[in-house]
Amino acid sequence: MPFRDRSLDPERKNALHAFQKKLGIRFRDLSLLNRALTHRSLTNEDAASSGNNERLEFLGDAVLGLAAAAYLYRTMDGKPEGDLARVKSFVVSEEALAAIAADLGMDTLILLGKGEERSGGRGKKAILADAMEAVFGAAFLDSGFEKARDLVLRFIAPEVDKVLTDRHRRDYKTLLQEYVQRWHRGYPEYALASKDGPDHDRTYWMTCTLLGVAYGPAAGKTKKDAEQAAAAMAYEAVMAAGGVEAERLVSMKRL
C-alpha cells in the first residue's frame, strides 16, 4: 500500500503544490512529497505522526547515484573512471545537495521536532541534503525511474558543468591533503581554537597546521565548515607561493 498522510491541511497542501512547481514535477500522491520533507525528529516526538523521510532518503540516494553515474558516463565520454568518480563525488555531496535544497526553499518546508527546530535544524546541511535525496526517492515511487532521473538531472547537470569548468565550491581539505601527501608524507592537522554563541547559533574557530605552520583560525557554523575555511587559507597561501613555501618547509623539517 502506498504511504497516505490524511493529516495534510489545506495550507500544507498549498505549500507543497507551490514547491512542486519549483521542482518541475507533479506528484500523484502528494503525501509522498510531504513524507520526504518530514524529519525523524518530528516522528520521535510525535507518536501520531505518519512517518519520516529516512527510508525515502535511502532509496533516493540510490536513484541519485545511478542517475548521476549514467549522466557522467555519457557526458565525459572517453574519460577514465577516476575522473568520473571525482566529479560524481562533488555533485552528489552533502554540500551540493544542501545548496540545491536551500535554493529551492526546502528549509522552510521541512517538518521538524521542537528540539531540532530550536537547535537550528532548518539550516543544517545534513538535514537539507537528506531531504533532497528523499524527494528523489519519493519521485521514484510516485512516477518511476525516468521521471525521477529527469528530476535529478534538472539540478545535477548544472553542478556537473560547474565542476568541469572549475566553478564549483572546492573541497580544500581534500586538495590540501593531496598536496601534502605528494610533497611530504603527512597530513594537515586541524584543531579547535575557540567557539562562541548559543547552542542553536554556535560559531567554531579552527586552525590548520601544515608542516609546522599554523593557518587561521577560520570560522564556520559547524566544525566541518570551519575546517574547510582553515584549509582554504592554508591551500591558497601555499599556492600563492607557487609551492615554494611548502617545499622550503619540507626541507627545513628534514634538516
Tell me the domains of the chain and their CATH numbers: 10-164 (1.10.1520.10), 172-254 (3.30.160.20)
Tell me the three cell numbers of residue 40: 525523524
The alpha carbons of the chain give a radius of gyration, in whole angstroms, of 21
Q: Which long-range contacts (CB under 8 A, 24 or more apart) does 191-196 make?
A: 192/223, 193/217
Confidence at 248, pLDDT banded by 50, 70, 90: very low
Confidence at 49, pLDDT banded by 50, 70, 90: low
The reported pLDDT for the residue numbered 242 is 61
Evaluate if residue 245 carries a pLDDT over 70. Answer: no
Give the mean pLDDT of 119-126. 87
Mean pLDDT of the chain: 85
* SS3 call for 210: strand
Confidence at 137, pLDDT banded by 50, 70, 90: very high
pLDDT higher for 139 or 184?
139
Give the rounded distance of the alpha carbon of 95 from its chain centre.
Answer: 3
Evaluate if residue 1 carries a pLDDT over 50. Answer: no
pTM equals 0.69
The reported pLDDT for the residue numbered 3 is 42
In the block, cell 617545499 appears at 247
The reported pLDDT for the residue numbered 199 is 80
Cα–Cα dist 189/207, whole Å: 8
The reported pLDDT for the residue numbered 169 is 61
For residue 111, the 8-state DSSP code is B
Give the mean pLDDT of 80-95. 86
Which is nearest to 30 in space by CA: 61, 7, 4? Answer: 4
Give the mean pLDDT of 157-175. 77
Catalytic residues: 61, 133
Q: Sheet containing 189-196: which strands, arranged edge to edge?
A: 189-196, 203-210, 213-220
Cα–Cα dist 52/131, whole Å: 10
* SS3 call for 78: coil
Confidence at 119, pLDDT banded by 50, 70, 90: confident
Confidence at 2, pLDDT banded by 50, 70, 90: very low
Q: Which long-range contacts (CB under 8 A, 24 or more apart) does 82-89 make?
A: 87/160, 87/163, 87/164
Tell me the three cell numbers of residue 142: 510516485
Which is nearest to 148 in space by CA: 23, 16, 13? Answer: 23
pLDDT in tens, 200-215: 788 999 999 988 889 9
Evaluate if residue 235 carries a pLDDT over 80. Answer: yes
The reported pLDDT for the residue numbered 6 is 45
Residue 49 burial (C-beta neighbours within 10 Å; 0-12, 13-18, 19+): middle
- Top mean pLDDT of 2-6, 29-33, 179-183, 239-243 is at 29-33
Evaluate if residue 148 carries a pLDDT over 90. Answer: yes
Residue 185, number of CB atoms within 10 A of its CB:
8
The reported pLDDT for the residue numbered 164 is 82
Give the mean pLDDT of 7-32. 92
